Structure 1
Amino acid sequence: MAAVAEVSGEAAAANNMDSRPKSESELNVQKLVDMFKKLNPLAQEFFPSSYSHHQSTTHYHNNGQLSPNFFPTANKPSSNDNFSNNRRRRNNYNQGRRRSNASAFKAQRADSIRRTVYVSDIDQHVTEERLAALFSSCGQVNDCRICGDPHSVLRFAFVEFSDEHGARAALNLGGTMLGYYPVRVLPSKTAILPVNPTFLPRSEDEREMCARTVYCTNIDKKVSQAEVKNFFESACGGEVTRLRLLGDHVHSTRIAFVEFALAESAIAALSCSGMVLGTQPIRVSPSKTPVRPRVIRPTLH
């Protein structure tokens, strides 16, 4: 519109220089010029929604008249518009990243399940090491977890292999005598929950510490740390060198990591499963993590 007003202004100046009497059409043009002068060509309502910034240059037809498809440059978007657009782009990016992470997690979990077998009817005297040794003939064993009451023949385990071929080969070991009972082997429907790698042994000394440590669960909340220590020293006939009793207000029972001076005492402690400590029968299994000393951070005065 600014270009229209400019052209119209030039026409009016030319008319003033012309001394000839104005025709009716020229008078109509003069009226239009006067009307355009009262308008603000930069007002936003004069810009169509299809306007783009590459159209800001004034263009003319071959006959020298202004093309109606081109208009002056529109006002720049406000800072609020830029903020809204940036936030929308960030939200779309974050949602896409979350979906990508969720898909990757599901795919990783499905792959882990395909590499895992479920083993049941495990003799109470069979250890995780012995069970892993049996299945190592099928392929590399990444992890082996025995669950259930050590005094029950209904103990079960999950064995994870490094590839699916090992898991398929392990299915052929169903019926193998291990201890006093033949084990049953089936495809697993769940993956083994991984242990936090920062808790695993970092050196040969810490691996030796794990051999002397047991993991105890279902401990009565009213039982103190001293009572847990006295219980295991009396039942196993060995000194407890370190004990970590853990719990919170959410769970009804507590857990403990008990480290003995001798590995023989830790092996004897596995037979304490089912014994009552306080008001609850405890469950004891070998620990996969050592009991590290607490780091005391200096307080700022």
Structure 2
Amino acid sequence: MAAITESVDSGVGEGIENRLVKPEESDQVKKLNPEAKEFIPCYKKKINNQSLSSGDFAITKKHSGGEEFNKQDGRRRNGYNQGRKVRLSGRGSKAQREDSIRRTVYVSDIDQSVTEEVLAGLFSSYGQVVDCRICGDPNSVLRFAFVEFYDDQGARAALSVGGTIIGYHPVRVLPSKTAILPVNPTFLPRSEDERDKCTRTIYCTNVDKNATEDDVRIFFESACGEVTRIRLLGDQLHSTRIAFVEFAIADSAVAALNCSGVVLGSQPIRVSPSKTPVRSRFTRSPFTN
């Protein structure tokens, strides 16, 4: 039986990221981040041997000899919105999810001044960017992101961006282990405190149906750090369960992303950054064994 993908009733499932996006709901999930306007990728030239700049922001590709090149780049108009709508509406099946993962790269060591627009603009030089999400503690010096392309060819080409200096730091680019997930805007953070909690929270799917909150807590605390709150959802009628895990610090949530594919109980779990907090009024799930 497929993993749980839909919200349970409102008394139990508040905060669940809805993975099945109906056509009529697609317009509601456009914003990648509750504080950011939807971006349009704005650069079109290759960054090899170049530096892209926007105002005071600079992107530099270093050569083996240590030389740096700085040139202004123009704007890119590449049909971003149309590509993104197509992809968001097709995330339901396992095959489509795996395809989405192949088209996504994981970018780390991102300067805190970098916006989703700038990052997508950089990667649009390698293929059509259909989605981009910067994650991590906004107060941290470095953050991470997921960038999804229209096809896997763009994702493969984007791996060469590794080592590019964006702002003050060279970024690392790797194939992603997870896809970018749409989110029901009803469950987005409602306050600064909840936004902070989101940076410390992960969304875990394909959890063994026999796992308890204690099992999940012990698993993540042994691998990543202190867990402050857990929401475990599901029942014995479904083959797997889902969990929201909130950590004491954002670095632990980042470390937890590396647990994708690790077996918890009898199932390899999938871990993604959460765009929704664990609501404080739900301290334990009534479905917990």
TM-score (norm 2): 0.44
Higher-Rg structure is: 1
Q: Which has the higher contact order (CA 8 A, sep 6+)?
A: 2
More helix by share: 1
